[in-house]
A and B are shown apart, each in its own frame.
Chain A
Amino acid sequence: MSRRVLPFLLGGLLAGCDHTTPLVPTNVAATSGDAQTDTVARVLPAPLVVTVMVEGGNPVVGAPVVWAVQSGGGSVTAATVTDAAGQASATWTLGPIAGAQSVHVTASGRSVTFTATALPDAPTQASKNAGDKQNAAPGAALPVPYAVLVRDQYGNPVPGVTVNWAAAAGQGSVSPAAGVTGAGGVATTVHTLGPTLGADTVTATVPVLAVTLTFVSTGLRQAILVATVPIAPNYGIHDTFVRNGIAFVCAWNTGVMIFDVGSGARGGSPSNPQLITTIATAGGETHNAWWFWNGASKQYLFVGQEGAGTIGSSSQGDIHVVDVSNLASPFEVGSFQLTGAGTHNFWMDEPNRILYAAYYNAGVVALNVSGTLSGSLSARGIDTLAPGGPGNTYTWGVQLYNGSLYAIDMLSGLWQLNTANGLLSVAAGGNNVPERYSSDLWVANGYAYTGTWGTRSAPGNAVKVWQLNPTTGAPTLVDSIITSGIGTVSDVEVSSNGKLLMFSAEYGPNAGFHFYSLADPAHPTFLYKYPVGGNGVHTATFGYIGGGVYAFGAKDPTSPALLILDVTSLTQ
Chain B
Amino acid sequence: MPRRLAILCLSATMPLGLCAAQRPSLRFSGQAIPLLTTTNAVPGGATLTEGRLVQPVLMLEGAALGDHLQLHAMGDFEGWTIQHGQLATGAYGEGYYDRRHPHTYVHELMFTGGDLLGRWDGDVVVSLSAGKGFAPFGTDDPMSRPPMLYPANHHLAQILERAVAVTAITAGKVTLEGGTFNGDEPEYPSQWPKWNRFGDSWALRASGRPVSGLEAQVSRAHVHSPEHRQGAGTDQEKWSASARWERAVAGRPAYALAEWARTAEAGGAYLLHSALVEGAYGLGRYRPYFRLERTDRTEDQRVFGEPFRSVRPHLDSSILGITRWTISTLGAQVRAWRRGAVAFSPTAEVAFANVAKVGGGVFDPQVFYGRTSFATLTVGIRADWGMGGHRMGYYRGTPMAEPMTMPMDHQHPEP
Contacts and interface: CB of A to CB of B under 8 A. Distances in A.
Interface of A: 232-236, 238, 252-253, 284, 287, 306-316, 391, 394, 410-411, 437, 454-457, 459, 486-487, 506-508, 535, 538, 556-558
Given A310-B320, A454-B301, A235 B232 contact: yes
Contact of A507 (B270, B304, B359, B360): B304
B277 to A, nearest CB: 29
A18 B125 CA distance: 116
Given A486-B304, A508-B304, A310 B322 contact: yes
Contact of A312 (B270, B311, B320, B367): B320
Contacts, number: 101
Contacts of B367: 457
29 contacts: A232-B230, A233-B232, A234-B231, A235-B315, A238-B315, A252-B232, A284-B232, A306-B316, A306-B317, A308-B267, A310-B320, A310-B321, A310-B360, A311-B317, A311-B319, A311-B321, A311-B361, A312-B362, A313-B359, A313-B362, A314-B269, A314-B361, A315-B317, A410-B362, A411-B362, A437-B362, A508-B305, A535-B315, A556-B315
A369 B59 CA distance: 65
A235 B233 CA distance: 7
B265 interface: yes
Given A311-B362, A312-B362, A538-B315, A507 B232 contact: no
Contacts of A487: 303-305
B318 interface: yes
Nearest to B231: A234
A253 B232 contact: yes
B313 interface: yes
A166 B311 CA distance: 54
Given A233-B230, A235-B228, A287-B316, A308 B304 contact: no
Nearest to A460: B304
The binding surface of chain B is classed by DSSP as: loop
Interface in B192-225: none
Contacts of B117: none
A225 B302 CA distance: 30
Contacts of A486: 304
Contacts of A311: 301, 317-321, 361-362
Interface in B349-397: 359-362, 367
A308 B269 contact: yes
Given A233-B232, A310-B322, 15 more contacts: A232-B230, A234-B230, A234-B232, A238-B316, A308-B317, A308-B319, A310-B320, A312-B320, A313-B360, A410-B362, A411-B362, A486-B304, A508-B305, A556-B315, A558-B313
A236 B232 CA distance: 9
Interface of B: 228, 230-234, 265-267, 269-270, 301-305, 311, 313, 315-322, 359-362, 367
A226 B265 CA distance: 40
Nearest to A235: B232
Given A287-B316, A308-B265, A507-B303, A314 B360 contact: yes
A251 to B, nearest CB: 10
A215 B32 CA distance: 69
A316 B311 CA distance: 21
Contacts of B361: 310-314
Contacts of A236: 315
A232 B269 CA distance: 26
A235 B270 contact: no
Nearest to B187: A558
A387 B52 CA distance: 50
B319 A310 contact: yes
A315 B317 CA distance: 8
A312 B232 contact: no
Contact of A454 (B267, B320, B359): B320
Given A308-B265, A310-B360, A311-B317, A455 B302 contact: yes
Contacts of B232: 233-235, 252-253, 284
Nearest to B234: A308
A391 B359 CA distance: 11
